[in-house]
Amino acid sequence: MVKITLLAREPGSLKPDWSLQCELPEVPSVGDYISVQRPAAPRPWGDDLVVRQVWWRLDHPETRAVVPENTELIGTLHELFVECDQAIGPWSSDAWRDSLESAEQRGIKIEKLKVARYSCRQSDLPGAAKERPTG
């Protein structure tokens, strides 16, 4: 397992909006889709993201520009950031979808995940559980 900081950018910006610490079986790749389920919405609804950058931060004990081949000095992973753009997917919660559709109406380009699944609002399904209030 690898520990990452999942960083969601503000819609239409490179500026961070929020971040979460996660433990994953492998490092996501640029272009991967990520869905995050949180307590504010019932499963399967959540927040959808598209990976844009993977930022590796390493530590190394060596200060020389060229390290001799026979050295025992080995660097280690310090931090791993996975930067993502917010997106609308088939399982986007109503609150997530509303926020991104509002940004779209202000002229911000919002990606829609390309999947072969019907996309609908959670509140449009008969008997669907409504989002749980936060706080």
Domain boundaries, the chain: 2-63+73-122
The whole-model pTM stands at: 0.80
Above pLDDT 70, what percent of the chain? 87
Tokens matching residue 103: 């940004």
Question: Given a cut of 60, is residue 120 above it in pLDDT?
Answer: yes
Contacts of 135 (CB under 8 A, 6+ apart): none
Residue 134 pLDDT = 47
Q: What is the DSSP letter of 124?
A: G
Better pLDDT: 18 or 71: 18
CB atoms within 10 A of CB 60: 11
**130 pLDDT tier (thresholds 50, 70, 90):** low
